[in-house]
Chain A
Amino acid sequence: MPKTQEKARLLETRRVAEDTHRIALYAPRITATARPGQFVMVRITSEGTDPLLNRPFSFHRIHKDDGLFEILFRVVGRGTWLLSQRKEGETLEVIGPLGNFFTLPPAHEETVALVAGGIGIAPMEEWGHRLAQWARGDEARRVYLFYGARTASEVVPTRRLERKGVTTFISTDDGTLGRCGTALDLLDQTCRDLSIRPQRLYSCGPLAMQAAVATWARQQNLPAVMSLESVMACGIGACLGCALPAVPPDDSSRIHYVHVCKEGPVFDSRKILWEKMEPMPVRPLSFVCS
C-alpha cells in the first residue's frame, strides 16, 4: 500500500469530551487505502519549525465514499493543544496511511472484546464498526466493548458503535459513570457476571493498562491484539525512534526491539516485553499551555 503525503482540508473540528477533540480531514488519496488500526502523521503547524515534528494519530473513523477520515485526540501537550486550535477550512499536511492494521478473527472465533482505556478509544471506533459488520455475517458472533475513562466528563460518546450492535460497557476510575474501576476491572468483572467468554481481545490505551490487559489475557490463555503508542519522529521507519522492547524472533534472550511505526502499531501482546517498558511521563494539563 503506497504511503502518501497529502494536503488535507480540515472539514470539521469538534470537542467531544473534556480536552478531547475530533477533527475530520478531507484527504481522498490517504482515505482510499486507509484500514482500521493504521495511523497518520499530522503536521501541527503550516508555518515555522516549532513544534518541529509531526504527531501520530490512528484512524478514528474512515469514510471511504467521502474521501475523508477523522482522528480523535486528547490535549496532552503543546502540539495537541495547537492542533485543537486549528480552524475549519485550514489545510494540514498529512502522511499516511502508515503501519499495519487489525485483521478479522480466524474463522472458528465467535466472541471478541474491544478494550479501550482513555483516548485508546480512538482506533476502536472504526475497528468496532468493522467487527460489527463481521458479526452480522453469523448469528453466533458477538462483539463487546469495555471502555474505561478517568471520569465521566472524559468519556467519548459510543452511541455510534452501540447502534451497530457492539455491546458496550463503561467504567470510570472515580465511578462518576458506569462501573467504578479501570477498563480491565470492567472487563474482568463483566465477563464473570455475565459469563462472557471472549476468544480474542483488541486493546488500546495507556501503557500500564495495556501491560495489565496483556497479563490478564495470558492468564486466560487468550490472544490479545494491541494497538501501541510511542513517541515518534517520522512514522515511516526511517528514524527508528519508536522502538519497544520485544521478544526476538528466535526466542533467544538477546536484546530486540520492534518499531511502533513499522512492525506496528498493532502487535500480538505476547511479543512485547512489558516489564522493560518505560512509562510515558504525564504532564498535568494545567501546565500544558503555559
Chain B
Amino acid sequence: MGKDGTHARSAPELRVQLGPLSLKNPVLTASGTFGYGQEFSDFLDLARLGAVVVKGISLEPRPGNPPPRVTETPAGMLNAIGLENVGVERFLAEKLPSLRRRNATVIVNILGNSEQEYAALAERLEDAEGIAALEVNISCPNVKEGGIAFGTDPKTAARVTEAVRQKTHRPLIVKLSPNVTDIGLIARAVEAAGADIISCINTVSGMAVDVFSRRPKLANVLGGLSGPAIKPVALRCVYQVVHAVSCPVIGIGGIQTALDALEFLLVGASAVQVGTANLVRPTAAVEVLDGLERFLRHQGLASVQEYIGTLDTTCRLPQAEEACAGDG
C-alpha cells in the first residue's frame, strides 16, 4: 500500500489524543476567527470539527479597539480587534448552550488583565458542562494589558499557567506568541507550570501605513498578522516547540488547505487550528478535514497518528553532510 495509488480498506482513523484531551479529529478552528460557532452554522456542521475554539472570553465584556480594526496585506491580514467579547456570563448563558445544541466540541479561549482574572475565569468555567478544554491566551498582541504582556516572559507565562492550573481539572492548553526571542523557552516554562498542551502561534506583530494620508491603516497602529503570509513562521515555531517540550502541540498559522495542515502534522503537531481561512471560506475547516482524510487514504495510512511527527531531517547525501550540518 502507499504512494502507488492503492487505498486503505477502511476509513482512516482521525481520532487524536492530546494528553488528557481526546478529539474526534485533529482539525479545530482558531479563536477569533470563528466567532462563537453559531456564525458558521449555516455553512457547516459544527459537530464535524475536532473542536471549536471560541472567541477569547474575559470576565467582563470588552468593547474592543476603535476602527479601523482590519486591513489586508500581501497574502494575509492585520487585525487589532482588541479582544472584543461578550464576557463570561453572557458566554455561559447564550453562546455555550447554542454550541452544545449543535453538538460542537467546545474549547474556551480565556484572557485577563491579571493572573487573578485568568484564575477567576477558570473557576467560573469549571462547573459549566460541555467544555472540553481551556485555551489560555497569553499572546494577543493588540491590547496593552494582559495578552502578550504575559506571553513574552517565561516567568509571567508560567505564573498565569499555574494560576489557571490550580482552578481547573480540565485539559489546559496555553497559546503562545511568535513575538519572542526563544519560543522554546516559553514553551518549557508553561509545560513545567502545568500546561497539558501548547498551541502556537498567535498572530505576528505587524504594521501597515497609508502613504497618501500618512496615517496608520489600523487605529491601534500595530496589529497582528495572520493568513498564508505567516505559515513559514508558524511552522518554524511549532517545530521548535515540539523539540522543546514533551507535551502535545497544536499548530496554528496560515492553514488554508489540507496540505497546509499536513505540514504542521509532519513537523510534529498533534492537531491544527484553521484560522483566517474561515473568514474567507466559511467551510474552510471541513474542507481541510475532508482533504486530510483523502490524503491519508491516498498514502495508505490507517490513522493520522501514523503521519504525525514523521519529518525526516536526516542528510541524504553523505558527501554533503558538512554542508547540511553547517546550513544556516
* Complex Cα gap A90–B210 (Å): 33
- Decide if A278 touches B63 in the complex (CB within 8 Å): no
- Decide if B279 touches A244 in the complex (CB within 8 Å): no
- Decide if A243 touches B84 in the complex (CB within 8 Å): yes
- Decide if B33 touches A4 in the complex (CB within 8 Å): no
Q: A230 contacts the other chain (Cβ, under 8 Å)?
A: yes
- Decide if A283 touches B212 in the complex (CB within 8 Å): yes
Residues of A near B81 (CB, < 8 A) are 239-241, 243
- Decide if A231 touches B63 in the complex (CB within 8 Å): no
* Most A Cβ at <10 Å: residue of B81, B219, B256: B81
Which one of B36-44, B91-99, B292-300 contacts A?
B36-44
* Complex Cα gap A177–B30 (Å): 52
- Decide if A239 touches B282 in the complex (CB within 8 Å): no
Nearest-CB distance from B196 to chain A (Å)? Answer: 27
Nearest-CB distance from B172 to chain A (Å)? Answer: 25
Residues of B near A255 (CB, < 8 A) are 63
Residues of B near A283 (CB, < 8 A) are 210, 212
Which one of B67-75, B161-169, B243-251 contacts A?
B67-75
Q: How many residues of B contact A (CB 8 A)?
A: 42
* Complex Cα gap A234–B34 (Å): 10
Q: How many residues of A contact B (CB 8 A)?
A: 42
Partner of A241, one of B79, B213, B217: B79
Q: Closest chain A residue to B43 by CB distance? A: A5
Residues of B near A243 (CB, < 8 A) are 64-67, 69, 81, 84
Residues of B near A287 (CB, < 8 A) are 212
User: Provided the pairs A54-B280, A233-B279, A256-B63 are in contact, do residues A282 and B72 lie with their beta carbons within 8 angstroms?
Assistant: no
Known: A52-B76, A234-B280, A236-B35. 8 other contacts (CB 8 A): A49-B227, A233-B279, A238-B33, A239-B279, A243-B64, A255-B63, A257-B67, A278-B67
18 A–B contacts, CB within 8 A, in A order: A3-B43, A43-B281, A49-B227, A53-B280, A230-B68, A233-B79, A234-B279, A234-B280, A236-B39, A241-B69, A241-B79, A243-B67, A244-B67, A257-B67, A277-B67, A278-B66, A280-B68, A281-B210
B: which residues have CB within 8 A of A?
Answer: 32-35, 39-40, 42-43, 55, 63-72, 74-77, 79, 81, 84, 210, 212-213, 215, 217, 219, 227-228, 256, 276, 278-283
